[in-house]
Structure 1
Amino acid sequence: MSDEKPNLPAVTAEEEHGQVQVAEPIPDPGIEPHENRITDIDPKAADRVERQVATMFSLAGLLAVVACVAYFAIPRESEVTVGPLNGNANNLTLGLCLGFGLFLIGAGAIQWAKKLMVDVEISEDRHPAHSSPEQKTEIIDAFQVGVDESGFTRRKLIRRSLIGAMALLGLPAIVLLRDLGPAPGNKLFGTIWAAGIRVVNDVTLRPIKPADLVVGQLVNGAPANLAAMQEDSPVEYQNAKAKAAVIMVRIPPAEIQVPPGRENWGIDGILCYSKICTHVGCPISLYEQTTHHVLCPCHQSTFDLADGAKVIFGPAARPLPQLPLAVDAEGYIVAQSGFHEPVGPSFFERG
């Protein structure tokens, strides 16, 4: 191995003693002289730009109206074909009208800012993150100056056309609410439960007899007339299933506190309640046998099934609705009637 040292640059006496001179930073070049735009010196040019911007805003509002008319006028099943491409004419018209409407508002705003708003260059020193009362007053004053310089209050044609376009662009959003489907009417207030409808296991769909339930057991149930809806109307089937789901428990009769008027709603300790939590509608079945409490897994609302399913904890506002039970001629558990109150979340208006 060689003992030779690499060739290094010689160290001067100034560098050795920390006396190296550091070059000065590049001086601040400042702001270049301002150049006036044609609209700054020619009022007629400024008026032309104002009319251009107002035209864009007005066309945007017109396209919003056209979108609303097309929504109703163009049949939903109609199609349009352009070469190898085809699509729904209604959707295409709505998309083009709303897309160009938003584009025109954006283009008009850019043209307004570039040609009419004040474009004088300014510099501002950095300042602390918080603002003093004096600075807040200064900011408000600066904002007002910006409003004045933008010409929003002075150029009435632009202001009125922009406000009109923005207001009209809200119409398609309101019209498109129709696609959410028909109003539910009174469907939120009732289920397919009725007198004589058997309670069946929601998995096997087998009807249930009182002897099938032992003390402490909880069964998820459904109305027997639900299965017939599945083939006829799948959508109505899902809606009915969501509202008609129930839980059925068997509690020692001595441990049940029967609410007034419900003395004959149970069968030897067998009680039936809606499975839908009265808070936001989550399905519940987390049952604690020793306390007779059932817990909603979503927000921990807890109901006492031995005391009319009243709320003992959590955000739910009312007890679970109870389904009156009876036994038919063949010994199966049936409903005496439908629910006496609406099932589901409590934020709906209740009659």
Structure 2
Amino acid sequence: MAHDDDTQALDRAYQPSPGLGVAVSDPAQNPGLPHHRERMTDKDPKAEKAAVRTVYTLFYLSLAGSIWAVAAYMLFPIESGALIDIRYNNLFIGLGIALALLAIGLGAIHWSKALMSDKEFIEYRHPTRGRDSTRAASLKAFADANEESGFGRRVMIRNSMIAAVVASIVPGVTLFRGLAPFSTEEDPEAGDPVALLKQTMWDKGVKLVRDPDGTPIRAADVTLGSAVHVIPEGLNELGHEGGLLEEKAKAIVLLMRLRPEQLIESDDRKDWSYDGIVAYSKVCTHVGCPVALYEQQTHHLLCPCHQSQFDVTEHAKVIFGPAARPLPQLPIMVDDEGYLVAQSDFHEPVGPSFWERH
């Protein structure tokens, strides 16, 4: 009986209050398309012509930006090493490329908003079938798009856009040419990347000095577990005009000290280290990033760009990542005064592995 009373109370609680009705509306109706408001370029032929001039002027401005980027590359050669050339090279090439890409974007947006058809339409979904009628409809869709955009009949806009897009690629192609200098009659190997990367400033008796202050390094001062950034003695004296940046990019070295018993050395390299001290090129053999992250406990070197890892205990062999070969090892020894010096140059080219190597 108590259960029936509770049920009746719940029923009363959920009954609508007197005077409150529940309205049942009809299904939502399609409101249709909003009222179309014509643009000035649709109503005024002068405004349309002005918009056309604006669009192809922007495309020609993009073309001028691409040409200027190439000209700046030639006017301010970064290979000269002069600080003013390096600054202006980066500044003016960047401004030229930025202008080229920005003008293409603005021109395309203005074209679509001011000149292309802006009439709203509904495209109903239907099953896709490969019949002749479907193909004909597809061709008609391309023809309609061409008519609405004006691509086929607006010759100035079309040609200027094509010229701007093609020219925007030229600065990038031009910059790639600077990756290696030209060969000359005096130096036929100047354009050969293998020859360029095989010879560095390291030679027999060249002292290992700290980067960047150039302080010579005594073997006794290299502590266990340390990693020292090293350059060859005399590098800083070259200056920018003498090719300091180019030589440093090839000759940078990382010096580490382990316990001698931790080193796993092949017979032909046992004398390349000194009392657990080893020296390896800092230039990653993947794409040339500086390998400068040393983990003392695992004795691993990490390249921060693409996470290649090298095992310092075993000739810096690759243990992880996209690098294709170990880091080149610099043979070292100690002179009569206790300073670390090179036994010779690297025995192989430094840097990335994608060039042919002999």
TM-score between the two structures when normalised by the length of structure 1: 0.60
| Matching residue within 168, 174, 179 for 2:170 | 174
Secondary structure of residue in 2 paired with 1:166: helix
Asked if residue 308 in structure 1 is aligned to residue 315 in structure 2, the reply is: yes
Would the aligned equivalents of 2:104 and 2:161 in 1 still touch at CA under 8 Å?
no
Deviation of the 1:323 alpha carbon = 0.5
Deviation of the 1:334 alpha carbon = 1.0
Deviation of the 1:168 alpha carbon = 1.4
Q: Percent identity?
A: 30
| Matching residue within 92, 116, 130 for 1:113 | 116
Give the corresponding residue for 2:233: 225
Give matches, 1:268-347, under 5 Å. 268-280=275-287, 281=289, 282-288=291-297, 293-296=299-302, 298=304, 301-347=308-354
Relative distance call for 1:138 and 1:225 in structure 2 (3 A) is: farther
| Matching residue within 202, 217, 230 for 1:208 | 217
Question: What RMSD in Å do the two structures reach over aligned CA positions?
Answer: 5.4
- How far apart, in 1, do the equivalents of 2:226 and 2:346 lie? 19
Relative distance call for 1:259 and 1:309 in structure 2 (3 A) is: farther
- How far apart, in 2, do the equivalents of 1:49 and 1:317 lie? 61
Relative distance call for 1:20 and 1:176 in structure 2 (3 A) is: closer
- How far apart, in 2, do the equivalents of 1:311 and 1:32 lie? 64
Greater gyration radius: 1
The answer for unaligned runs of 5 or more in structure 1 is 1-12, 77-87
Aligned length: 307
Relative distance call for 1:334 and 1:145 in structure 2 (3 A) is: same
Asked if residue 165 in structure 1 is aligned to residue 160 in structure 2, the reply is: yes
Relative distance call for 1:158 and 1:229 in structure 2 (3 A) is: farther
| Matching residue within 256, 271, 277 for 1:248 | 256
Would the aligned equivalents of 2:100 and 2:164 in 1 still touch at CA under 8 Å?
no
Relative distance call for 1:190 and 1:54 in structure 2 (3 A) is: farther
What residue identity is the alignment partner of 2:110? A
Relative distance call for 1:143 and 1:330 in structure 2 (3 A) is: same
- How far apart, in 2, do the equivalents of 1:183 and 1:89 lie? 19
Deviation of the 1:18 alpha carbon = 6.0
What residue identity is the alignment partner of 2:18? E
TM-score between the two structures when normalised by the length of structure 2: 0.60
Asked if residue 258 in structure 1 is aligned to residue 266 in structure 2, the reply is: yes
CA displacement 1:226-248 (0-9 Å, x = unmatched): 56348x33995556545412223
What residue identity is the alignment partner of 1:228? N
Secondary structure of residue in 1 paired with 2:293: coil
The answer for unaligned runs of 5 or more in structure 2 is 1-14, 77-90, 182-192
